[in-house]
A and B are shown apart, each in its own frame.
Chain A
């Protein structure tokens, strides 16, 4: 989309606390209408970066444009185009879902109808319940509702599903997919790989204050191209009896592992070998590395671990 200006464009962003650069030369572009998952370990600088984009924090260096304006100086008109879900915020417990949304609607020049937002976040049955009595997942969805009430072009979600049970997460994902269908740009900070895989058009992984990898989930997975073939070594055979494969197999806890870039040929050779001897390859699996594996490799083992 070369003609459309990016929703977010960041070049050379730096933020220091004391003499430690939490964000250290970060470059990133987010296209309008896409869901970008922003990954990184705790302490990688995700929230700092997000809060600079939202206008809550000042940067030390670099260029930042969000919806065409500099968040450090942009005013109320700019904020009217944003929806923000903070990491640590909860709606006021004493107000009902409807009352909460009505209050926030009054802050915006062109709010969405309250009933429409309640539908978007799937809280129809809780409309007149007080926020304090909603489940954690429902409160978070109300929080997203609050972010959507102003009819935003761009929504920031900072680790929205932390602490959710699997059901609540799945319901939450439906809400985010709904946003994409509305054409809203979503900047989703998360440390759940499955979340990124399901929701994101592109994934950016932050490490040591910069973007360490950027691409579609499939592109990132391709960064580690190896497919792993695993099976139990048939009784009465040894590793040396196996046919020649593209990579040497290794044995761990009675299981044979082959990390291969030619899975089809290796699998064919193995199957032919086993069938010719009347053997069964128990527990045979062929696995592509998950995004999680890729993330672990890119993001490093520990927060702040040197590259």
Chain B
């Protein structure tokens, strides 16, 4: 049953050009553009080490890929399914309720993993950015926990979004400033300290940190950041399950 659900959700996702563009192509286009513009610059890290900008940008846009799939696309799709009565309709069949959520979450997980793979391969082949094999398990773990946490936050956003029309702008209003202050578009070191401090407790910056570590393993393993991502996921899950509904908000 879950296989059929995921299959159908993936098919539906892949056939909507606008979500496909914003979720899959945009982070890749950003990576390519940023690499072309800033890739050659070298950056001095706070620890005193110097790395190529291109090395930092691969995990940064990997993070964006995961968030696009698990948070933005998930929230938009869930609101759409709720408001069009699709959820209500399926609740009238013997299918268990979890199948709908699981279908969406697994679908965005598959898309997120695909994005990570694209970034991984593109980073390696086009920009020579590599991950030590011994750091790969951390990267995979970080990706999975990050995707799960942002899925929960996506469900939370869906739960508090009133209408289909409001979903895309709301998701982007949340996410775009976070990209700027969390080291996705701009290195965190170039931000004012207070802004960096604010960003460091929000969910995006810790995930960038978690995914950057395998690429630049200069500091100790960022367990705190990973924990922070997980805590945000838990907060999202609690609010989502408190506010979630199956039936359209209007009518």
Contact = CB atoms under 8 A, between A and B. Distances in A.
Interface of A: 54-56, 76-77, 79-80, 82, 84, 86, 88-90, 92, 94-95, 99, 102-104, 106-109, 130, 146, 150
B94 A102 contact: no
B94 A90 contact: no
24 contacts: A54-B92, A56-B88, A76-B94, A76-B95, A76-B96, A79-B92, A84-B92, A86-B88, A86-B92, A89-B85, A89-B89, A94-B11, A94-B12, A94-B16, A95-B8, A103-B4, A103-B8, A106-B4, A107-B90, A107-B94, A107-B99, A108-B93, A108-B94, A150-B93
Contacts of A84: 89, 92-93
B221 interface: no
B93 A88 contact: no
Contacts of A104: 93
A54 B89 CA distance: 11
Contacts, number: 72
A173 to B, nearest CB: 23
A109 B94 contact: yes
Contact of A102 (B4, B13, B15): B4
Contact of A86 (B89, B95, B96, B99): B89
B53 interface: no
Contacts of A107: 1, 90, 93-95, 99
A54 to B, nearest CB: 6
Nearest to A89: B85
B248 interface: yes
A106 B92 CA distance: 14
B251 interface: yes
Interface in B71-99: 84-86, 88-96, 99
